[in-house]
């Protein structure tokens, strides 16, 4: 009988197989991290839009409850600390207020909410919108309320909208706006 040559039994993986597996796993991990980042940005955008919608409706309801002071509400744009101090008297503490004083206090509260002054990180407001501006116009009861804020995602912003929308906030590809047109008598 002739003895046959029998190669030794190979066990384990080759170095090349291990490197290919590591590359595939690394690409999967990078894809997963990219998907998570995209998801977080979309969640932040949705939260900003939800906050702006809530704040827009809040000031409109305050204006409906105080229709005699529509001119006061439309007097100035708010956001970024433009109203530095709480108006006096404090209309929420039970003090008797005129409709104009109540409107000034409502605007101050609205700005505090837009700026996120209730939540701070150090000295920075972090509970509201990013670089917000709130604008109110009134023309014989036709009221337009606009909130603009900064988004991390650039889109087209032509700035050609009429009716004061293009003047609310700094025009850029990162500006987001929500607009409500209503009638208050």
Length of the chain: 185
Whether 82 contacts 111, CB under 8 Å: yes
Q: 84: helix, coil or strand? A: coil
- Going from N- to C-terminal start, the domains of the chain cover 15-183
Q: Cβ of 178: how many Cβ atoms within 10 Å?
A: 16
Tell which residue, 63, 69, 109, 55, has the closest CA to residue 86.
109
The pLDDT tens digits of the residues spanning 34-60 come to 999 999 999 989 999 999 999 999 999
The pLDDT tens digits of the residues spanning 64-103 come to 999 999 999 998 789 888 888 888 888 887 778 899 999 9
- CA dihedral for 81, 83, 87, 91, sign (positive or negative): negative
Q: 61: helix, coil or strand? A: helix
Q: Model pTM?
A: 0.77
């Amino acid at each position: 009988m002739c003895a046959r040559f029998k190669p030794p039994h190979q066990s384990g993986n080759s170095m090349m197989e291990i490197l290919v597996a590591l590359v595939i796993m690394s690409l999967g991990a990078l894809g997963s991290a990219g998907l998570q980042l995209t998801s977080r940005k979309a969640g932040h955008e949705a939260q900003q839009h939800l906050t702006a919608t809530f704040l827009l409706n809040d000031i409109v309801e305050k204006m409906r409850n105080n229709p005699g002071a529509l001119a006061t509400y439309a007097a100035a744009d708010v956001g970024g600390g433009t109203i530095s101090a709480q108006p006096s008297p404090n209309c929420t503490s039970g003090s008797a207020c005129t409709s104009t004083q109540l409107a000034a206090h409502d605007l101050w509260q609205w700005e505090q909410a837009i700026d996120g002054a209730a939540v701070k990180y150090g000295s920075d407001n972090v509970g509201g919108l990013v670089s917000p501006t709130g604008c109110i116009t009134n023309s014989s009861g036709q009221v337009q309320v606009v909130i603009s804020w900064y988004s991390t995602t650039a889109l087209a912003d032509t700035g050609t909208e009429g009716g004061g929308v293009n003047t609310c906030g700094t025009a850029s590809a990162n500006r987001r706006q929500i607009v409500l047109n209503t009638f208050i008598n």
